[in-house]
Chain A
Amino acid sequence: MTVVMTKIGIAEVRAAKDPAVLVTLGLGSCVGVCLYDSRKKVIGMAHIMLPSSKEIKNNANKAKFADTAIVMLIEEMEAIGADRKSITAKIAGGAQMFSFKSSNELLRIGERNVEAVRRELGRHRIEIVAEDVGGNYGRTIEFFSRDGSLSIRTIGHGTKVI
């Protein structure tokens, strides 16, 4: 069977059955949340932009926020056969792309996104089994349904598989 490679854009959520590869290109301060049910071989990826839908008035787009996107992703995975009790997570991204001398809350957004994702996954009792977060560089991530591996590419900061 051919493996379908699906690109997940900013503020998108997608679940897929094996065989599948979910990809996000050029992740910066956003966080890529990758969920895996190893028994049912169902994967899911969310490209999260902001920590909380509660902080923002214009919050109709649920896939943008850590709190609402993770719920959405779990539901989409369940809809195609995943069991939330056997879901584990890998997360990547949350970089601080620019550094200013005066620290600005907006620039800490990467870190705040990572904190929010950890908190939300904890709330749903989903264990984070691996992560590659922070730093000041972009990441391209590829998530494979065959074994739940997450491959990470950068410009000038190497390549790794977690």
Chain B
Amino acid sequence: MEINYENLNSMQLDVLKELGNIGAGNAVTALSKMLDKKINMEVPQVRILELAEVPEIFGGAEVPVTGIYLRMEGDISGNIMFLLPMESSKVLLDMLMGGYRDGDEFDDMDLSALEEIGNILAGSYTSSLAALTGMNIRVSVPALAIDMAGAVLSVPIIQFGHMGDSVMLIETHFSEGNKHVKGNLLLIPDVESFVNLLEKLGVA
């Protein structure tokens, strides 16, 4: 069976979107617990985009972003990427460590804090996926890259490229007080896992 985001029916799409909503909700709850702060979240936007459009959501392929990448293994295999615009990366570090220094450079402490955030968000996302589908999913340690949006995104885009010419992107906005963060999550099941995932969700 050949499957990609372009030829999903509306029922399948709705289920995947709902999965995105629940996953993002759990991820933000986890972040809220970690920070011990009340975090408000808007309803996540789930979008299907053409490959070439993806870097544009960050304002262009050259704009620097933080990308946190994890590998899923188990009943479903694939990757998860959590993406933050630079401004949001700084706001998050500020929330986490209280008072972000000036300047654009991140030190090792900042980088490992960002990795940890990615770990928690992706971890809670996959555990809600596991709970909903009854699947066993393990997540790797995160890898981090801060670089041009196009370059960071080339990795998931290439993976989606094995399936077709479009991607599913879950965009989450959340805030703590007047600090606003925009985060994006890409769920990239491996080609052979995609049908399996739809089956487990009862919409194959």
Where the two chains meet, the residues of A that have a C-beta atom closer than 8 Å to any C-beta of B are 9-12, 25-30, 49-50, 56-58, 61, 64, 95, 97-102, 104, 106-107, 109, 136-140, 155
A57 & B151 in contact (Cβ 8 Å cutoff):
no
Q: How far is the CB of B78 from chain A (nearest CB, A)?
A: 10
Could you pull out 5 A-B pairs where Cβ atoms are within 8 angstroms? Answer: A11-B165, A25-B148, A26-B60, A109-B155, A136-B145
Interface pair A98/B141, CB less than 8 Å apart: no
Q: Is B180 positioned at the interface, with any CB of A under 8 Å from its CB? A: no
The listed residue (A98, A102, A155) touching B148 by CB distance below 8 A is A155
Complex Cα distance A147/B161, Å? 34
Query: Which residues of B pack against A, CB within 8 Å?
Result: 2, 4, 51-52, 55, 60-62, 64, 67, 69, 71, 79, 140-141, 143-145, 147-155, 157-159, 161-165
Given contacts A57-B2, A58-B163, A98-B143, A29 and B150 within 8 Å (CB-CB): no
The 8 Å CB contact of A100, one of B52, B67, B71, B163, is: B71
Task: Give the complex CA separation of A95 and B145 in angstroms.
Answer: 12
Residues of B within 8 A of A10 (CB): 51-52, 150, 154, 157
Q: Could you tell me if B52 and A50 are in contact, using CB atoms closer than 8 angstroms?
A: no
Number of A-B pairs whose CB atoms are under 8 Å? 106
A100 touches B143 (CB 8 A): yes
Closest 3 CB pairs between A and B?
A26-B150, A138-B151, A28-B154
Please, which residue of chain B has its CB at the minimum distance from the CB of A57? B2
CB-CB < 8 A to B163: which residues of A?
58
- B159: which of A27, A30, A106 is its contact (CB, 8 Å)? A106
Residues A95 and B151 in contact in the complex (CB < 8 Å), given A12-B52, A26-B62, A58-B2 = yes
- Classify the interface of chain B: helix, strand, loop or mixed: mixed
Closest to B81 in A: A98
Contacts of A155 in B (CB 8 A): 64, 147-148
The answer to whether A64 and B143 have CB atoms under 8 Å apart is no
A10 to B149 CA separation, bound complex (whole angstroms)? 13
Pair B143/A99 contact, Cβ less than 8 Å: yes
Chain B residues with CB below 8 A from A139, complex form: 151
From residue B154, how far is it (CB to closest CB) to chain A in Å?
3
For residue A113, which residue of chain B has the nearest CB? Answer: B158
If A26-B62, A98-B143, A104-B71 touch, whether A138 touches B2 (CB-CB below 8 Å) is: no
Given contacts A12-B52, A58-B164, contact A138 B147 (CB under 8 A): yes
Tell me the minimal C-beta distance from A109 to chain B in angstroms.
Answer: 5
Complex CA gap A49/B165 in Å reads: 11
Q: Which residue of A lies closest to B151 (CB)?
A: A138
User: Bound state CA distance, A137 and B161, in angstroms?
Assistant: 20
CB–CB A97/B141 < 8 A: no
Residue contact A9 to B143, C-beta cutoff 8 Å: no
Q: How far is the CA of A26 from the CA of B74 in the complex (A)?
A: 33
Q: How far is the CB of B83 from chain A (nearest CB, A)?
A: 12
Complex Cα distance A151/B158, Å? Answer: 24
Bound Cα distance A89, B67 (Å): 32
